[in-house]
Structure 1
């Protein structure tokens, strides 16, 4: 079986959207992932704050990497996010995704997104379906 870092590196090499976001993989372990990225000017909405899809997207990438890190292919079947604080251009986002439950076919994950001041800007929850296929 492949190591978690090898699985995530393989996923990231094919993930054009996470690459476009500028995501940096900081740490990966079984059921765990820590990512960072910098908010760019083209990521803001009409209020000149980051589009909600930005914090959602880094959280969704963290979910994918954490859920697949055990070597069993997994895809999201339900996600939700609570946007707590606004995000601005040049903010450095850090997301930490942790596995809450890893069943045979269903997994549950929670992520917290922080800015560069360690302020929580979003909370994300995700459920994945785990296929029998291995990486």
Structure 2
């Protein structure tokens, strides 16, 4: 199995049980070893009292992209801690794209950067996540599903 095939299989297994990301309306766009791209269109249920996309929605999109990138090697991996900087607001109807890229993996610890942009390529937020591999796999290697 190639690294990309492993990443895609891990993503499919995670996506099948990911109630939160689907509840938000996210879409899994692409995945590869150490990388993932998710997207979301800001809907009425995503805006706050200021009429802009709630920061928690933006964070959740970045966090989900982070999760798919971190688990792409089929090693169960969770977040240790994350930070986000909001650069500009996202508005109702904006199409947000979160691109995650693992920048460091040493032993069981990793660092992944995620950029969230809108449909115009404008930077909405910058997220950095620290991950930790735990016991188990996302799917059983050799499993035909």
TM-score, L = length of structure 2:
0.89
Q: CA RMSD in A?
A: 1.2
Displacement after TM superposition at 1:60 (Å): 0.3
| Residue ranges of structure 2 left out of the alignment (5+ in a row) | 139-145
Cα distance per residue 1:51-75 (max 9 Å; x no partner): 0011100000001000000111100
1:84 alignment partner in structure 2: 87
TM-score computed with the length of structure 1 as normaliser: 0.96
Answer yes or no: is 1:12 the counterpart of 2:38: no
Deviations 1:15-68 (A, max 9, x none): 111001111111100100011110110111110101001110000000100000
2:56 aligned with 1:60: no
Q: CA deviation at 1:115?
A: 0.2
Q: Structure 1, unaligned stretches of length 5 or more? A: none
- Separation of aligned partners in 2, 1:72 and 1:10: 12
Match of 1:36 among 22, 34, 39: 39
Rg larger in 1 or in 2? 2
Structure whose residues are more often strand by fraction: 1
Moved over 4 A (4+): none
Q: How many aligned positions are there?
A: 135
What is the CA–CA distance in structure 1 between the aligned matches of 2:25 and 2:76, rounded to whole Å?
A: 24
